């Protein structure tokens, strides 16, 4: 069987995978804080038909002659560049301008991380994700917005650029006083954020190559009343879609052409 046929098959498979990734990027163009992914290819196996030799006294050296047997997906890389910050006016909406991930409790002593700050307040005053998971602070306790503080009604709450939570009370006073935050968002950064494992619902989990969360390191500014948009660029994705389609068609053409060659060989028997 011709090697070119297997090369064509590998090209089709690789470009199918790339199209899957491009399709997912396009589908999530409106997903809050979504990070697009890219696919990279590398050449696959080689068969050596001519072995190389070093130069001699009379005859010069011979370079190796090799025939490749296609391509393969060498990696899928998540692009963690920040998306645009979009103001919303909702007090529960938060965005991080710079490095950092909100810490979310998803189980008993289990935590996930997200850039999606489109939070809500439940009936108990907990700051939660769209799926009801609680947002936690630096002490790993849920961030809670009380209805009353020191016997007074809480009119509104504010989250500073450092992630410190404060409240405006009915008498016009602010609690707590500046520099004495009772609650502070647990913002984590990672040595390799591209190594985080996507868990769906805009959540990420720690993987073997992301490193453990670093909680006390410097991070970006928290923006209240805003969310981070997807970093997908449709013009780039459509271009990648066209290139991938043409590459797939070319790989399939290699198979049909190889089939024609095989047919010619069979016809020699006539």
Concatenating the DSSP letter of every residue in 60-125 gives --B--EEEE--EEEEEEEE--PPPPEEE---TTBEEEESS-EEEEEEETTEEEEES--B-EE-TT-
- Reported as a single tens digit per residue, the pLDDT across 123-167 is 999 999 999 999 999 999 999 998 887 788 988 999 999 999 998
Distance CA(141)–CA(161), nearest Å, equals: 20
Distance CA(179)–CA(245), nearest Å, equals: 57
Distance CA(57)–CA(151), nearest Å, equals: 99
What is the reported pLDDT for 1? 59
What is the reported pLDDT for 159? 93
For the chain, the average pLDDT equals 92
Burial 12-23 (b: 16+ CB within 10 A, else e): bbbbebbbebbe
Longest dimension (CA), the chain: 102
User: Can you give the C-alpha Rg of the chain in angstroms?
Assistant: 28
Q: Quickly state the pLDDT bin for 35 (edges 50, 70, 90).
A: very high
What is the reported pLDDT for 142? 95
| Residue 58 scores a pLDDT above 80 | yes
Is 222:162 a contact under the CB 8 Å cutoff?
Answer: yes
Domain map (residue ranges) of the chain: 3-80+232-267, 87-228
What is the reported pLDDT for 172? 84
- Reported as a single tens digit per residue, the pLDDT across 195-216 is 999 998 999 999 999 999 998 7
What is the reported pLDDT for 181? 66
Classify strands 187-188 and 197-200 as parallel, antiparallel or unpaired: unpaired
Rounded to whole angstroms, what are the CA distances from 268 to 2, 4, 47, 229, 261?
Answer: 17, 21, 27, 62, 11
Distance CA(138)–CA(118), nearest Å, equals: 19
- Reported as a single tens digit per residue, the pLDDT across 95-105 is 999 999 999 99
- Reported as a single tens digit per residue, the pLDDT across 167-176 is 888 888 888 8
- Dihedral pair phi/psi, residue 253, rounded to 5°: -65, -35
Task: Give percent of the chain with pLDDT exceeding 90.
Answer: 73
The stretch 89-113 carries a mean pLDDT of 96
Distance CA(200)–CA(241), nearest Å, equals: 24
The stretch 72-91 carries a mean pLDDT of 94
Distance CA(226)–CA(96), nearest Å, equals: 9
| Residue 262 scores a pLDDT above 80 | yes
Cβ count within 10 A of residue 137: 21
Is 206:187 a contact under the CB 8 Å cutoff?
Answer: no
What is the reported pLDDT for 170? 87
What is the reported pLDDT for 218? 86
The stretch 56-71 carries a mean pLDDT of 90
- Reported as a single tens digit per residue, the pLDDT across 173-199 is 888 876 666 799 999 999 999 999 999
What is the reported pLDDT for 179? 61
């Amino acid at each position: 069987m011709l090697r070119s046929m297997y090369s064509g098959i590998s090209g089709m498979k690789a470009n199918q995978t790339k199209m899957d990734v491009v399709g997912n990027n396009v589908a999530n163009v409106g997903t809050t804080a979504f990070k697009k992914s890219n696919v990279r290819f590398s050449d696959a196996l080689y068969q050596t038909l001519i072995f190389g030799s070093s130069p001699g006294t009379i005859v010069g050296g011979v370079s190796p002659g090799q025939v490749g047997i296609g391509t393969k997906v060498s990696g899928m890389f998540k692009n963690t560049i920040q998306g645009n910050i979009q103001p919303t006016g909702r007090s529960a909406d938060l965005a991080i301008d710079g490095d950092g991930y909100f810490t979310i409790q998803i189980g008993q002593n289990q935590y996930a991380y997200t850039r999606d700050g489109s939070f809500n307040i439940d009936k108990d005053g907990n700051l939660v994700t769209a799926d009801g998971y609680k947002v936690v602070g630096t002490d790993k306790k849920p961030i809670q917005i009380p209805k009353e503080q020191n016997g007074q009604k809480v009119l509104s709450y504010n989250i500073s650029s450092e992630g410190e939570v404060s409240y405006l009370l009915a008498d016009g006073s602010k609690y707590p006083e500046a520099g004495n935050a009772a609650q502070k968002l647990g913002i984590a950064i990672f040595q390799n954020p591209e190594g985080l494992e996507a868990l769906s619902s805009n959540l990420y989990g720690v993987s073997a190559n992301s490193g453990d969360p670093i909680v006390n390191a410097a991070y970006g500014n928290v923006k209240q009343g805003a969310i981070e948009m997807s970093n997908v660029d449709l013009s780039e994705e459509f271009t990648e879609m066209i290139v991938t389609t043409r590459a797939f068609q070319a790989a399939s053409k290699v198979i049909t052409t190889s089939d024609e060659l095989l047919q010619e060989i069979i016809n020699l028997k006539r």
